Structure 1
Amino acid sequence: MSRQRSILLAVAGLFAVGLVVVGVFLAVRTGPGSGDAGGPAAAAQEMEHIHGIGVDPGDGTVYAGTHYGLFRIADGAATRVSEVQDYMGFTVAGPGHFLASGHPGEGQDGPSSVGLIESTDGGETWETLSLSGEADFHALEFRHDRVYGLNSMTGQLLTSSDKQSWEELSQAEVADFAVSPEGPDELVATTEQGLTRSADGGATFEIVESAPVMVFVSWADDGALAGVTPDGVVYTALEPDGEWTEGASLGGQPEALTIASGTQIYAAANGAVLASGDGGATFSPLLGQ
């Protein structure tokens, strides 16, 4: 079997399971003020199923949205800052300001999907904003004072300027997407066929011939792009339809990816949270594993 066909089959498999990554276990340390409202405090816990990584622009702290809560990663350890619930989508909207989606934790009231939720205190407390019971966003972006979300329940790519009322952009079959820092109408999205690009706000997409088949894609404020293939190889570019440069392998199936700048990239794969300070050429574990 050719490598290209293997990649296509891997992407198809990820679509079939709704991009829910399973089997990722990371040992982490819990400290005081961990926000462990969903269960008793413990000396050690598990951060399982990483669905999103974000960087707080206020202090550069890295956060990971997981199956069992939101974790702050610092000083070689991870601390849960939220109550225990499933963060399927997670993005940073500003200093201490986060948006997320997913499912309530065990014993919590409400619908099986939380819709769009918001925290303005670094993830410790959350407020439901809209689409409770109607949306489970597996990918979220906040840019140009707008929220963009991929609703796994309906397949819709949606956007909102007030976090309350939503407009459908398209129902294109995408796995992940990113919004250009230059304007709200330019997006890129990963699909089974390859990376696609939209110039009309996500209404239509065209294949980017120069890019490899990727699962996750991210677009930094400085214009740099990063993507990762189903087998964990990171690629970077300065333009969506420009040259994509092959970087390091993450060493396993990727779970999440975000690019903070042309030099700083964060990823999760194969049971490790990784960071690159050289634009994806090399990655090192962010946690003391």
Structure 2
Amino acid sequence: MTARPAARTLLAVAGASIASLLLAACGGGSSDTGESSAASASSEALSHVHGLGVDPADGRVYVATHQGLYTVAEGQKPKLVGDSRDDFMGFTVTGENTFIASGHGAPGSDRPGNVGLIETKDAGRTWTTRSLSGEADFHSLDSAKGTVYGYEAGRIRISSDLKSWDDRATLEALDVAVSPTGDKLLATTAEGVVTSTDGGRTFGKGSGNVQAFVSWPAEKSLFGIDMSGKLSSSADGGKTWKELTTVPGGQPQALTAVNADHILAATMSGVYESRDGGKTFSELAPLVS
């Protein structure tokens, strides 16, 4: 498994903990065809989580993994959505029954190694290619006010129609998150969380608080999780952080805050949920290595 050039630089700066996290997140890099995936993985076992989300239509929790999209619920076994075993590298919920994603086609499928930007309007049962098929592999996706923000191959790219893309800043990052009002974009780097106020064209200096993943559901409710699984919140857009708790399971794989109270996190051991603003977490589903 080989990290991309931008990732390799970030690894050298940030050290061993972020190195292993980035290698897991990259899943083989943008040229990966998915052949290293465990295609025979059980429909009741989760591994290599890349994204989390909740469908506002019914409150169901979705987990985007190296071997397909699943739904999970406490006390129930994970269920594969549809019949796709594609590697979902980037994933976010944009509306009722509507998600966007990116990644790699499953071995033996007719989908390309890099699927570009794909969209579902039936809660993951079927997917439609919207743009960049065979070209792009977004490792992070977020949206606000009808605009999609993606991080792909070391650069920020944005789109208002899912078809045409505007390339913005280049930087070495792991995750991006846009403010609910759409006026600020954050990226997690080895120097800390960096902020853009011009739509991702330029970024300021890092805050010094190194987070692996960030999620911004409400203006004064920004959440970040660091390399050890420590969850923190910020009420000022990432300038200062308040430690909340440590999510079970060590290194994080994904973070999504649905609102100020409802938070989802995936670590090395499982998918966890908080309903009290990150004070406590319960396990929704275990992960297998």
TM-score of the two chains, using structure 2 as the length reference: 0.84
2:15 is paired with a residue whose SS is: helix
Q: Distance in 2 between matches of 1:15 and 1:203?
A: 26
Percent identity of paired positions between Structure 1 and Structure 2: 42
Please tell me whether residue 139 in structure 1 is matched to residue 136 in structure 2. no
Look up the match of 1:105.
106
Would the aligned equivalents of 2:50 and 2:89 in 1 still touch at CA under 8 Å?
A: yes
Distance 1:205 1:91, change over 3 A: same
User: Are 1:61 and 1:73, in contact at CA under 8 Å, matched by a contact in 2?
Assistant: yes
In 2, are the aligned partners of 1:248 and 1:283 still within 8 Å (CA)? no
Counterpart in the other structure of 1:255: 253
CA distance in 1: counterparts of 2:230 and 2:216, whole angstroms: 17
Does residue 17 (structure 1) correspond to residue 14 (structure 2)? The answer is: no
Q: What do residues 109-161 of structure 1 show as CA deviations (whole Å, max 9, x unaligned)?
A: 2421100001000100001111011100000112111111111xx31210011
Paired residue type of 1:87 = F
Cα displacement string for residues 220-277 of structure 1 (whole angstroms, at most 9, x for unaligned residues): 0454110001111001111224431101112311000011111111100122110111
Mark the CA change 1:139 to 1:103 in structure 2 (over 3 Å): closer, same or farther: same
CA apart distance, 1:203: 1.1
Q: Does 1:129 align with 2:135?
A: no
Match of 1:59 in 2: 58
CA contact (8 A) 1:221 1:260 kept: no
- 8 Å contact 2:142–2:150 — kept in the other structure? yes
Which residue number in structure 2 is paired with residue 80 of structure 1?
Answer: 80
The alpha-carbon deviation at position 69 of structure 1 amounts to 0.6
Say whether the 8 Å CA contact 2:85–2:106 is kept in structure 1: yes
Per the alignment, residue 194 of structure 2 pairs with: 196
Deviates more, 1:13-22 or 1:220-229: 13-22
5+ residue gaps, structure 1, are 1-6, 23-38
Measure, in 1, the Cα distance between the counterparts of 2:232 and 2:113.
Answer: 36
Indicate how the Cα distance of structure 1 residues 208 and 241 shifts in structure 2: closer, same or farther if over 3 A, else same. Answer: farther
Runs of 4+ in 1 over 3 A off after TM superposition: 39-42
CA distance in 2, matches of 1:16, 1:221: 27
The answer for the alignment partner of 2:154 in structure 1 is 155
Query: 1:4 aligns to what?
Result: none
Distance 2:41 2:173 in 1: 39
Distance in 2 between residues matched to 1:285 and 1:75, nearest whole Å: 7
Deviates more, 1:96-105 or 1:199-208: 199-208
Kept after mapping to 2: 8 A contact 1:104/1:114: yes
Per the normalisation by structure 1, the TM-score is 0.84
Q: 1:222 to 1:60 in 2, by over 3 A?
A: farther
- Give, in whole Å, the separation in 2 of the partners of 1:111 and 1:137: 14
Paired with 2:165 and 2:237, the residues of 1 have a C-alpha distance of 27
SS at match of 1:17: helix
Deviations 1:167-214 (A, max 9, x none): 01111211101001123x3111100111111111111111353x6211
Structure-2 separation of matches of 1:74 and 1:20: 27
**Partner SS state of residue 19, structure 1:** helix
Query: Could you say which structure has the greater relative contact order, defined with CA pairs below 8 angstroms and 6 or more residues apart?
Result: 2
Mapped contact 2:74–2:283 kept (Cα < 8 A): no
Q: 2:211 matched to 1:214?
A: yes
Partners of 2:92 and 2:99 within 8 A in 1: yes
* 1:272 has 2:270 as partner: yes
Which segments of 5 or more consecutive residues in structure 2 lack a partner in the other structure? 1-12, 29-38
| Structure 2 match to 1:187 | 185
2:241 corresponds to which of 244, 256, 267? 244
Mapped to 1, the partners of 2:24 and 2:138 lie a distance apart of 11
Q: Which secondary structure does the structure 1 equivalent of 2:14 belong to?
A: helix
The alignment status of 1:70 with 2:78, answered yes or no, reads no
Letter in 2 for 1:230: M
Deviation at 1:76, TM superposition (A): 2.7
